[in-house]
Structure 1
Amino acid sequence: MKRSLKRQVRRRLPVRKTRRSPVPAGSPAAVTTSAVALEEKRAAGFRLGFDYGYSWGRSNSVLIQAPPQVTNVWDIRVLFVMSGKGVPYSPIDQAVYEALQANARECIAVSPFGPILELVDQMRPELVLVLEGMELPVQVVDALRMRGVRTAVWFTDDPYYVDVTEKIAVHYDDVFTLELNCVPFYQSIGCPRVHYLPLGANPGVFRPQPVETTYRRDVSFIGSAYWNRVSFVSRILPALESCNSMISGWWWERLPAFTRLGPRIQSGVWLTPEETAKFYYGSRIVLNVHRAYDDESYNCNVRKIPALSVNPRTFEIAASGAFQMTDERSDLLNYYKPGEEVVTFASPEDCMEKIRHYLNHEDERREIALRGLRRTLADHTYHKRIQSLLSSVFADETP
């Protein structure tokens, strides 16, 4: 009974809560706490600045040591017919035109809506090269061939628009496609000379460069919100929300978590190549997610020709000196070494795991980015691509 009574008494006793007295503002303790917090911020800022500065120095050394672009100028005149489609094709138009100017004795660029036949009659070019070709009437191409002019087209959106390009391709002497899987397709419909030629990078635009803090991110993705990308981003939200991330491009308002990402996402925005290059280099990780070949909402690919080859963004990210994580495509092995010059992921879960890993391994991330930059400058510029194109067209001749 006595023991039970003691327990009841103990239960009824009030619990005394001790409160920590607030540190008065201006007191020595408050000043010390503020100084410590300021010093921690200063140290974190110094580490971040050192990492960016060191990375820029290493990247710049790669630019300085890169071998010069060797040019064997072909003694030919080239009329270059641009895509005529504006953004996002205009930067590719410009890059191809500059590379042609460097590799041919004379090159003139013209819109597909311009006086092409009149220019041909005046210029008498050995080659008319058409980029993308959807805006140029095939009757003009036929008229060029009737004049004895060599014609070539470079398709930049295969295999996503083959229902359209198959009607164009048969009118040209030479067909170039950036999709390896489309070579046998064009051959099967009667094109006599088909060549595989991916796009590349313009190092005059996509290059390492010092950038302001407004361009610095932990993770970034720049591109349109095709449905497969919407699904992918929805599944890696935890990784994006846990760091300083950025998504930019058309149609991202269709993402179910659009409002949840808040300022991390910009929809309806198409960044210029110059702005894109800054975000690439300012990001610790740049994601590259290819569009799906079987998306019936946007594609014109009723045959469902699978896509094996990489998009031009692959080369542009690497040329910017950025660390790239990309989904797997079999043709990537012909251009970069996964794990050494670029990192691949097999699923959203694999992507999130690797994001966490590489955000915590600065040295490893930096070395992969530098190796990717070296490889791109050596092998994957538009200068190199145009040399390959001219060599394929004029295979029996020498520059």
Structure 2
Amino acid sequence: MRILIADSYYPGFLADFYRRRPDAEVLTYDAHHAALMSAFFGTGDAYARELRLLGHEAWTVVLNAAPLQHRWAVEHGLTTSGEDNAELFRVFLEQVRLFRPDVVYVQELAAAGEEVWRDVRPLTRLIAGQIACSMPSRRTFAHHGLIVSSWVPIVDHFRACGTPAEFLALGFDFKALESLGPIEKRYDLTFVGGIAPVHEGRRQLLEALCRELPIRVFGYGAESLSPDSPIRARHGGEAWGLGMLRLLAQSRITVNVHGDIVVGGVANETLANNCRLFEATGVGAALVTDAKTNLSDYFEPGREVLTYASVEECVACCRELLRRPDECAALALTGQARTLRDHTYAQRMRDLADLLARYL
């Protein structure tokens, strides 16, 4: 199969990347693309890389990386009049025409409107879309022949609406370990993730941890904290991609707090489903995560990860683990072994390739 993976990155990460790599904009497209993929944001190039190892032709484009898309346009003789969304999508259409994919696999369904996928549809055999977050409103996904999600309620929702949908779990890109290299533990206890107003429950838990334990907090959204929030004194800045993974790897213990995913107006709070489960364990941190009914599908609670069902339980669990460094280290090792054995994108892409072949 020829598979074109269309991704979209957080604007905060892109701003940070181009601030750190001002030279990227003068690089060739291939060098620029390689630099961006080496930042390991989201799934990075893991999908395309692992699909190629399975014998498929696969390529990743980042729809909203304007300097990168502009460089591709220049190298292919395409005149652009700016870097707004319309121009970026025009470049993407040309990429689809050139690559001639059997499948356009869309990692971020909210990245483009229906009119873009309407224009893409005649150029490929299948548009497949992946989503594992609250769904964008006023969208029909009429041009998508398959929806893939790691969130079972989303799969059920689309099937009930008559749209083919399949389950595919999230995973970890083990190649990041090579880029990280040897890591020394610097932090006893961390949280790495968003603390924006939408994560109110998460903020309350983190404030309790900040009052009771020596936790460090990293992530976006700190500017919206109340002036007296105890998180402010523990906040170490935003963290993206490989930098985020390095912080997790430097943590003896890290806390995970799931956000809400709203499907059909209803938020399901009972299921485990976020990337941090696999990122934290994959880089060797001992993970303390909120208890979910399906967590045992991925990890053995009490042996590979520890769980909590309340703020008080989280504080107590972290405090006890800090007192038992040998148990903490053993938990980290068993959690990492499980992720590297069962939850890497090498395994996930075998499953995805089988799914896509069935729908062509």
Q: Same fold (TM over 0.5)?
A: yes
Change in 2 beyond 3 A, CA 1:198/1:114: farther
Instruction: Check if 1:81 corresponds to 2:6.
Output: yes
Which deviations, in whole Å up to 9, do the C-alpha atoms of 1:22-46 show, x marking residues without a partner? xxxxxxxxxxxxxxxxxxxxxxxxx
Higher mean Cα deviation, 78-87 or 270-279? 78-87
- Residue 204 of structure 1 is matched in structure 2 by 175
Change in 2 beyond 3 A, CA 1:274/1:309: same
CA contact 2:130–2:149 (8 Å) conserved in 1: yes
User: Which contiguous aligned blocks of 4+ residues in structure 1 show a shift greater than 6 angstroms?
Assistant: none
- Residue 253 of structure 2 is matched in structure 1 by 285
Which of 350, 353, 360 aligns to 1:390? It is 353
Instruction: Check if 1:99 corresponds to 2:50.
Output: yes
- Residue 69 of structure 1 is matched in structure 2 by none
Change in 2 beyond 3 A, CA 1:344/1:170: farther
Which deviations, in whole Å up to 9, do the C-alpha atoms of 1:70-126 show, x marking residues without a partner? xxxxxx211221225445594324333333333343223334425344344443322
Which deviations, in whole Å up to 9, do the C-alpha atoms of 1:375-396 show, x marking residues without a partner? 1111111222222111112138
- Residue 129 of structure 2 is matched in structure 1 by 153
Instruction: Provide the aligned C-alpha RMSD in A.
Output: 2.7
2:218 alignment partner AA: S
Give 1:227 deviation, angstroms. Answer: 0.9
Give 1:356 deviation, angstroms. Answer: 1.6
Instruction: Check if 1:189 corresponds to 2:161.
Output: yes
Change in 2 beyond 3 A, CA 1:87/1:394: farther
CA contact 1:126–1:149 (8 Å) conserved in 2: yes
> Where does 1:103-122 land on structure 2 (aligned, <5 Å)?
103-112=54-63, 113-122=89-98
Which of 205, 210, 213 aligns to 1:232? It is 205
- Residue 109 of structure 2 is matched in structure 1 by 133
1:211 alignment partner AA: I
TM-score, normalised relative to structure 2 = 0.75
Matches of 1:175 and 1:185 in 2, distance apart? 10
**Percent of residue pairs identical:** 26
Instruction: Check if 1:252 corresponds to 2:183.
Output: no
CA contact 2:208–2:315 (8 Å) conserved in 1: no
1:394 alignment partner AA: A
Matches of 1:211 and 1:178 in 2, distance apart? 30
SS in 1 for 2:217: strand
Which deviations, in whole Å up to 9, do the C-alpha atoms of 1:255-309 show, x marking residues without a partner? 457564564223xx32132222222122221000111346xxxxxx561141423
2:243 alignment partner AA: E
Which deviations, in whole Å up to 9, do the C-alpha atoms of 1:341-398 show, x marking residues without a partner? 111111111111111211111222222211111111111112222221111121389x
CA contact 1:288–1:326 (8 Å) conserved in 2: yes
1:385 alignment partner AA: R
Matches of 1:135 and 1:292 in 2, distance apart? 20
Which of 323, 327, 340 aligns to 1:364? It is 327
Give 1:322 deviation, angstroms. Answer: 0.8
SS in 1 for 2:128: strand
Give 1:156 deviation, angstroms. Answer: 3.8
- Residue 75 of structure 2 is matched in structure 1 by none
CA contact 1:93–1:131 (8 Å) conserved in 2: no
Give 1:147 deviation, angstroms. Answer: 4.5
Which of 290, 293, 303 aligns to 1:327? It is 290
Which of 168, 176, 179 aligns to 2:148? It is 176
2:176 alignment partner AA: V
Give 1:222 deviation, angstroms. Answer: 1.0
The number of equivalent residue pairs is 304
Change in 2 beyond 3 A, CA 1:149/1:143: farther
CA contact 2:249–2:284 (8 Å) conserved in 1: yes
Structure 1, gaps ≥5 residues long:
1-75, 295-300
Matches of 2:258 and 2:127 in 1, distance apart? 30
Matches of 1:278 and 1:362 in 2, distance apart? 20
